[in-house]
A and B are shown apart, each in its own frame.
Chain A
Amino acid sequence: MNAAMLRRWRWLLVLVLLAFAGSAMAIMPKEFQSPEEAERYRSLSHEIRCVMCQNQSLADSPAGIADDLRYQLLARMREGYSDEQIRDWFVARYGEFVLYRPRFNPTTWALWIGPFLLLAIGVWSLVAVIRRQRPLPPARPESEES
């Protein structure tokens, strides 16, 4: 491999790495007034779903609407909304679906309790099956080698 070729490959490597850099980095717009604000923004934007590209959080989505919603998130923070008020603000417009961590209410009881209920049923039936098993016949001295 000559030097010119190596240089070309190096460029390719840089391009490949750059292509992945975007996905590793959450999208952080605008300047923050303090590290606390940046941290709060980061945490809230990971909790809220992008409504257009539904399997991404606001923090990870490059969609135009996500950008609009991120802007609204920061605006609400600066207006002095609490975290819960901000969640309410989004839920009032886009429904409970925008929250990545669904709240505990009558429509989500099954979602929250369901897995534990299934686990309990599983453990219970396992115990029942084991209990029912007949005890093993007493060990007999065997003639064959062990």
Chain B
Amino acid sequence: MISRWLPFGVFAAIALLLGVGVIMNAGRTQVEIVSPLIGKPAPDFALPDFANPSQIVRQADLRGQPYLLNVWASWCASCRIEHPVIADIALSGRITVIGYNYKDERAAAERWLRQLGNPYHRILVDETGRAAIDWGIYGTPETFLVDAEGIVRWKHVGPISPQTVERELLPLLDTLGVGR
């Protein structure tokens, strides 16, 4: 009797499995790559400071306080959408927000900041995109949360929405005991 229902059971199990996969992928054009860096030290880098290009900033220089690293470029349309959300986080003073200017032209980046405002504590300049590969960056915008010990705690791919801040970032800052 059992074996009679077995093929149906197997079919139902496979259908369920595939169905869950389809539903989980609905509305997504590509899979968000889960960063293997989470829980690991942020990669080392040596990048010029936007405000003072002769000054080279290294990973070690940023250690000692948690920070949000926001990857942006003036050519990136969704960065423009995300900008007010990043500005809000920076203005709240809860965490230092560092900009990561990715594959951009200086003049265009300056224009962008003049137009929208500069919310960043400081901005690192990666003109070639070489250092970005060590971070596993593959597009803009992307945002990393790095703690005071230099460990990557969180990564968000795509523009951060106020909901993402509310539901993901702020609770994480609470558990990590950052600010307030």
Contacts and interface: CB of A to CB of B under 8 A. Distances in A.
B103 A64 contact: yes
A65 interface: yes
Given A52-B138, A52-B139, A65-B139, A125 B129 contact: no
Interface string B114-138: 0000000000000011100111101
Interface stretch (A34-42, A89-97, A134-142): A89-97
Contacts of B128: 68
A77 interface: no
Nearest to A66: B138
A27 interface: no
A72 interface: yes
A93 B136 contact: yes
Is chain A's interface secondary structure helix, strand, loop, or mixed overall?
helix
Tell me which of B7, B33, B37 has the highest count of chain A C-beta atoms within 10 A of its own C-beta: B33
A125 B133 contact: no
User: Chain B interface residue count: which class?
Assistant: 20 to 34
A26 B107 CA distance: 35
A69 interface: yes
A63 to B, nearest CB: 9
Interface residues of A, number: 23
Contacts of B3: 125, 128, 132
B42 to A, nearest CB: 12
A6 interface: no
Interface in A61-109: 64-65, 68-69, 72, 91-97
Contacts of A65: 129, 138-139
B141 to A, nearest CB: 14
Contact of B30 (A54, A64, A68, A122): A54
Contacts of A15: none
Given A121-B10, A128-B3, A94 B31 contact: no
A51 B132 CA distance: 13
A118 interface: yes
Interface string B20-31: 000000000011
Interface in B10-51: 10, 14, 30-31, 33-37
Contact of B14 (A54, A95, A97, A118): A118
Contacts of B34: 95, 97
Interface in B32-85: 33-37
A93 B133 contact: yes
A77 to B, nearest CB: 15
Contacts of A125: 3, 6-7, 10
Interface of A: 51-54, 64-65, 68-69, 72, 91-97, 118, 121-122, 125, 128-129, 132
Given A68-B133, A91-B36, A93-B135, 8 more contacts: A51-B138, A65-B138, A94-B33, A94-B136, A95-B33, A96-B36, A125-B7, A128-B3
- Closest 7 pairs between A and B when the two form their complex, measured CB to CB: A51-B138, A93-B136, A95-B36, A54-B30, A94-B136, A52-B138, A68-B129
